[in-house]
Each structure stands twice: as structure tokens, then as C-alpha cells.
């Protein structure tokens, strides 16, 4: 039973890291896309 708990801990750690990393990446992507749309609106206004 002890080895199973150790395996479980080993498996969940990268998953947790991956999940937090994906959340951060999604947040930054959303921020980038909103900034890009603002930039495109300014370009359209200038042209």
C-alpha cells in the first residue's frame, strides 16, 4: 500500500504543475489576444 501512495504522489505532482502552467498560459494568451484586438482597433482607426 505504501508504494501505491508514493506512486500516486509522483503522478499527481507533474499533473498539478501542468494544470497550473496551463492555467497561466491560458490567462496570458487571453490577455495577449485582448491587447492585440485593441491594437488592431487603433490601426483601423489610423487607417
Per-residue pLDDT in tens (0 to 9) along the chain, 47 residues: 455 556 655 666 777 788 887 788 888 888 888 888 888 888 888 86
Instruction: Show me where the domains of the chain are located.
Output: 14-46
Residues whose CB is less than 8 angstroms from the CB of residue 29 and which lie 6 or more positions away in sequence, other chains included: none
Cα 27 to Cα 2, 5, 12, 15, 36, distances in angstroms:
38, 33, 22, 18, 14
Is the model's pTM score more than 0.75? Answer: no
Amino acid at each position: 500500500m505504501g508504494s501505491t501512495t508514493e506512486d500516486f504522489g509522483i503522478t499527481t505532482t507533474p499533473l498539478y504543475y501542468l494544470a497550473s502552467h496551463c492555467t497561466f498560459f491560458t490567462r496570458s494568451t487571453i490577455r495577449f489576444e485582448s491587447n492585440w484586438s485593441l491594437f488592431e482597433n487603433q490601426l483601423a482607426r489610423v487607417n
